[in-house]
Each structure stands twice: as C-alpha cells, then as structure tokens.
Amino acid sequence: MPFPFALPTTSSISFPDYFSSGTHPSLPNCATTARGVLRDVLKRHKRIPPSSQASNLSTVLSALNEYIPFLFALDAGLSGTACAGEEIDLVLVKELEVEWRSTLGTSIPGREPARIKLKSLESELCFVLSTLAYVYSLQARAQLHTLYNATLPNPEQRATAIGAAMKHFLDANSVHTYLVNRSGQWHTQPAAIDITAAVIGALAELTMAEATLITVLKDDPYPAVVIEDRNKDSKEWMFRGVEIPKVRAHLFARLCLASSEHAAKAQAMLGRSSKVNDDLIRYVDDLRRTAKGKACRFLACDSEAGGKTGEGIAWLRGARKELGFVSSGADHEKKSFGFSKLKKEFQEKKEDRKIEKGEGWGTDAGKFEEGRIVDMLLKKWEKMNDTVGVQLVPPSEPLLASMPSGREYHTPKMWIVPALDEDSLVRMRAPPDPSEAFEGDEDDSADEDQRTAPGAFPAHTPSSSYY
C-alpha cells in the first residue's frame, strides 16, 4: 500500500529571462512552453477529486516526459556536456528563481503547504524528477487498490496488477537513486525539505522496501482470505488451513525482513530531518512494522507446517508485538478484549471505508490488514493446540532475537537520462519566436495561499520563507 503522495505545484517562469543560447536560440522558449504545459497539468490534477486522480496520472506522466528532456538540455548547456551528440552553448543571464509548493514538509492544518523560493536549475531539476518518482509510486498504488477491494480479482488480474505495481516501484526507485547519486555533488542543501539529500535517500530506500515487500504478495494466499472473510456477501465464515511450502515460507520471511531493513534505513534518514511531514514518518514506521510482522507470520507458517504448532503460536504472538498491537502476555492470546481491541477494530473499519471510497487508504502501510491475518491464524491455531496438540508455547522474545537475515530480491535499476532527439535540436537552431512561448494558463500558485480552510487563521507566510 504505497504512500499517497501529493503532487507539488509550481509558479510560472520564462527561461529566456535567465538563459540565452548562441547555438540553439529557441531552446529556452521551447523549454518554457513544455514547462508551462506541465505547470497547468499539475494544477488541474490537484483540483481533481482524490478518488479520480489515479485516472489522470498518465496525463501528468506525459507532461513530465515532454519537459524533462528540455530540462536536461539546459543542464547540458550549463555544464558544457554534449546533448544528443551536439554541443549547446548556453549563457546564464541571471540566476534562475522558481517557486515550488512543498508537499513533504510540515504545514499548519487547514492551510496550504508553504511555497518555497528556489534558486538554480539544479533545484528545478530535482523537484521535477521527484514529481516523476511520485507519479510512478501513485501508479503502483492505483494498481494495488484493485487487490484490496471487496471483489476479488481472478489470478490473472492479480498477477498483472502486482507485476505492473512492481515495475512502477522500481521505476520510482531508479529516479530517487539517480537523485541520490547527483546529490553527492552538492555543496549546500536545498531550501526545500522535499529535495534534501536525506529525504531523497529515504524515498529511495522506501520504494525499494515496497518493491521487495510486493514480491511475496503474488504467492501469499492469506490477504485474499481476509478480504473474503470481511465480505458481507460471503458464506465462508471459516477457512481451511492455507498451505505454503516450507521452503517458500522461509524464503518469504527473508524477503520481508529485507523490506523491513530498507524501511528502517528510510526511517533513520527521515529522523535527521525534523521538518518532514508526520504522515510520511508514520507510514515508514508502519511499513517497517508490517514487513517485520509478515516475516514473523511466515516463520510461524514454517513452524506449524513442520508440526511445531506451539512454536508457530509464539511466532504469531511475536508478530503482534512487532506490528505494535498491545498484548498483555499470554492472557491476550487467550482473549483479546478491552479498549485496545475496540480501538483496533474501529481503525480497521475506518480503513475499510477508505478503501471502498478510494480516498486516503493505505496510510497504515497494510499494518491492520496484516494484523487481521495474524489474529485469524492465532485464533485457529490456539483452539487447535488447546484441543488436539497441546504443545507448550515458548516465549516469543528468543524467537524474535533469532530471526534470519534479510534476502534481497531486486537489483536497483539505473535511470537513463532522457535526451532530446536530433531533429528537435536542429529545429531549435532557428531564431526564437517570442509569441510561441507558453508559460501556462492556470492562475499563479500565489493565489492559492489566499485560500484558507474554514476555521483556520488567515495565511501570513512570506513567499521567501520556508514555513
């Protein structure tokens, strides 16, 4: 369940005010037009209802892919490198100034996040590429939403959705990783928290954690069982034990542990930045817990399949602790009543409603979904152990301390920098036509700062300040 990133919006700029080229004089104008289209697309996307934004992601992606080659052409001209085999002579008239609206920084509830004034083409490039990575993650999110609806997809649909989501995760990771490598050349950190080296590095780890965790989803039968169980039209109130081959269960556990390790690294990186959105910090922590809880559950299946039901129950109790669900020793596993259970059930139903509406779902990174699976298995195995097997249930702490190491599944992809084709570069050798430059039709993002939610205090944030 990927994090529901909000796509940033930006102010309008005219590149001819900042750059001029003797070899390709039309380049700044063409870049301005492509950026104006992207700016309008981002603003329109923001106004679409959240439940309908997924269908508009392809439009945003197309606008990004049109603009990014121009951005790298400008970057090549400033750095003196070749673009599509041609040298671009680009002169800096004055330092580029642009504003982007932060989406990962903290903000006052009920008010638009702060606009941040940035300088240099590098900041523009980082914000645009980060937006590209967000779009990939949101596309993966849209694919996975089909798996958590009450209507179960058939095996072919499920495999297609999971495969597409995995590809989108890896694409997002490749973009974030490219930015991480690029940030190693920075002398100072950007003013926007969204594109600092720590946050970019955390997002690279986060997308790899999500891509790794999804590898077990295709062959994990339990989520479908839970979805079927909460389907009001289902007549199946009990389910037979789902069999997972012993070796596969152990392999799945190690993959989940690798995902948890990536999420832990992301959490540590975000911890260095005190001004990161709390929702993102909570999501990363929940993803780490979910991956660790899944690992415990698969190790429990491995033990139970080997006839060690008592040890399997201990693993499931350990899974509850890793997920952060309070348990009062062995008494909880017998009966889990009280305020904590009511609170958990309320949060589960709240998440179900979000999934049905298609808005704001998945912010728990699948933690409550995994908790349901653990509770179902725990109830079944405890009843079976109390009536048939009667095995001693060992404490879970020593088992958690003996967990195996994680196993990586994916090799990070290298993101290929898109370049303008030769025909486009040849056309840009012609003198520019100022009337063709398009900066965007949408209102400037400064107007959005004047719109305040009901009950909130009027905005009083200078455009040059961070908060």
pLDDT beyond 70 at 342: no
Rg (CA), the chain: 25
Angle between helices 121-145 and 57-79 (to 10 degrees): 150
pLDDT at residue 234, as a whole number: 47
Q: Which residue has the higher pLDDT, 65 or 350?
A: 65
pLDDT at 466 over 50: no
pLDDT in tens, 107-139: 777 677 778 999 999 999 999 999 999 999 999
Please give the model's pTM, rounded to 2 decimal places.
0.87
CATH classification code of 219-233+245-329+337-403: 1.25.40.280
Give the model's pLDDT for residue 178: 96
pLDDT for position 135? 97
Handedness of CA 372, 253, 148, 223 (dihedral sign): negative
Query: Which of 58-67, 394-403, 432-441 shows the lowest mean pLDDT across its residues?
Result: 432-441
pLDDT category of residue 191 using cuts at 50, 70 and 90 = confident
Angle between helices 367-384 and 222-229 (to 10 degrees): 90
Q: How far is CA 329 from CA 67, 340, 372, 453, in A?
A: 57, 14, 19, 46
Question: What letter represents residue 308's amino acid?
Answer: K
User: Is pLDDT of 173 > 90?
Assistant: yes
- Are the C-beta atoms of 322 and 313 separated by less than 8 Å? no
Residue 271 near residue 199, CB atoms below 8 Å = no
Domain boundary assignment for the chain: 1-197+412-434, 219-233+245-329+337-403
Residue pLDDT, tens place only, 352-371: 676 666 666 778 888 888 99
* Cβ-based neighbour number of residue 159 at 10 Å: 13
The pLDDT of residue 50: 83
Instruction: Determine the 3-state secondary structure of 59 from DSSP.
Output: helix
